[in-house]
Structure 1
Amino acid sequence: MISDTTPTLTYFNARARGELTRLLLNYLDVEFNDVRVAYPLDKDLKASLPFGQLPMFKDNDVTLVQSTAIESYIANKYNIAGTNDVERAQIHQYVLATMDVYNPFFLVWRDEALVLKYTLDKAPLFLPQFESIVNQCKGEYLVGDTLSWADLAWFNMVDYFTHYNHLKDVIKNYPALIAFHKRIGDRLPERTKQYLKSRESTPV
């Protein structure tokens, strides 16, 4: 039941920088308010934000902005951010690496010509490294022997590529990443699988 103490994620009606937080909360079975606001930001809301940007996450007395900070808070609170300092650092590095893939796309997604340039020039700079790391993994997961924030971050990244038509041709060249996406997807709880199937399509 939604209550005054229920955590709230405020973001646009888009996946982009908010979807991994939604995925984490769903996977962890944490009930939350998924507040989606119109773009561009209302000037009063923008003025109230520490950096004038979304997403924003509120959990009782905690208010956070910046997507990776929000994800880190959730992952650490619910113990999927590693079991020791080394694992925590490794998981964090893998999460941050996805930003190298996302950020150039988020800058150009409205321009078809620039999106094409991204698929030909930018994505191939990074995705081979992801493919190599997945191939080198000795276990089922990126770090340790249980599913972590890093696995969900990489699942979400590949899922993003497989969802959008103009990116599908990029990811098909990386079979290990595709297999990783399926492996992690198969291990998600049924509620998360249903969420992934039922969520609406958004432009970014």
Structure 2
Amino acid sequence: MSEKPKLHYFNGRGKMESIRWLLAAAGVEFEEEMIETREQFEALFQDGNLPFKQVPVVEMDGMKLVQTKAILQYIAAKYNLYGKDIVERVLIDMYVEGTTEFMEVIMSQPFLQNVEPGMQIDVLVQKAKMCYLPVYEKVLRDHGQDFLVGNQFSWADIQLLEAILMIEEKSANVLSNFPLLQDFKERISEIPTIKAFLLPGSKRKPQPDEKYVQTVNAVLQMYYKVAFNFRIN
């Protein structure tokens, strides 16, 4: 029996959260080793586990995987969540890139809200309503299917749900003008593996708090001159 994947990251969401979501949706149990000190980060680097001086790191199938997109693509392909052909894969990549782009803005908000005017919550909510949510509402309307690609549950659906729940934490009624996304959210949330991941006590992480922000800054500041610059990817 193969060992469970081991995830090396901070005790919070960040870039690792989409990996947790994807593994959980695939029904894969995993272990986590939390990075809490600069010394732990240095040890990973000195052991050769951080070739780009970045986390997350995922130990899986005898490999030590880095770079979030590569990790996610591997997991999606391994567990048949990456479409049936090259056309479906490129659509999945397109939709995932869109949600990733927006989720990165939300992830950076706790680190930059005091220095970047564009990181205020009302600005983020407006951007979601104007630039991102309409795209996915149109996709669902145009093809009239339950899922984003090929009428089959995929990585794109998982990440869209993650993005929806992230922005709903900032504005509970953000989907009020998007009925198809409301239905999508309810439908995907009822998939058994997803439903289990949404229950209290799962390995899903809460919204970042001040302790998480301080830990990330303390661990990474020796390598980077700014508090947060998207290098934890």
TM range (shorter): 0.7 to 0.9
1:150 Cα deviation after fit: 0.8
What is the CA–CA distance in structure 1 between the aligned matches of 2:26 and 2:100, rounded to whole Å?
A: 23
What is the CA–CA distance in structure 2 between the aligned matches of 1:133 and 1:39, rounded to whole Å?
A: 43
Conserved? CA contact 1:10–1:57, under 8 Å? yes
1:85 Cα deviation after fit: 1.0
Aligned to 2:183: 179
Aligned to 1:150: 156
What is the CA–CA distance in structure 1 between the aligned matches of 2:144 and 2:160, rounded to whole Å?
A: 17
Conserved? CA contact 1:80–1:149, under 8 Å? yes
Aligned to 2:41: 42
Superposition pairs for residues 37-116 of structure 1, below 5 Å? 37-38=35-36, 42-46=41-45, 48-110=49-111, 111=113, 114-116=119-121
Which stretches of structure 1, 4 residues or more, deviate above 4 A after TM superposition? none
What is the CA–CA distance in structure 1 between the aligned matches of 2:10 and 2:123, rounded to whole Å?
A: 23
1:98-118, CA deviations, whole angstroms, 9 ceiling, x for partnerless residues? 122112223332426632353
What is the CA–CA distance in structure 2 between the aligned matches of 1:29 and 1:125, rounded to whole Å?
A: 32
What is the CA–CA distance in structure 2 between the aligned matches of 1:22 and 1:32, rounded to whole Å?
A: 8
What is the CA–CA distance in structure 2 between the aligned matches of 1:17 and 1:103, rounded to whole Å?
A: 8
What is the CA–CA distance in structure 1 between the aligned matches of 2:6 and 2:73, rounded to whole Å?
A: 16
Aligned length: 198
Letter in 1 for 2:144: K
Conserved? CA contact 1:128–1:174, under 8 Å? yes
1:167 Cα deviation after fit: 3.8
Letter in 2 for 1:196: L
What is the CA–CA distance in structure 2 between the aligned matches of 1:50 and 1:169, rounded to whole Å?
A: 42
What is the CA–CA distance in structure 2 between the aligned matches of 1:39 and 1:180, rounded to whole Å?
A: 40
Conserved? CA contact 1:13–1:202, under 8 Å? no
What is the CA–CA distance in structure 2 between the aligned matches of 1:71 and 1:30, rounded to whole Å?
A: 13
Aligned to 2:225: none
Identity %: 32
Letter in 1 for 2:50: L
- CA 1:174–1:46 in structure 2 vs 1: closer, same or farther (change >3 Å)? farther
Q: Are residues 1:141 and 2:147 paired?
A: yes
- CA 1:175–1:54 in structure 2 vs 1: closer, same or farther (change >3 Å)? farther
TM-score by length of 1: 0.83
**SS at 2:151's partner residue?**
coil
Aligned to 2:15: 17
1:120 Cα deviation after fit: 5.2
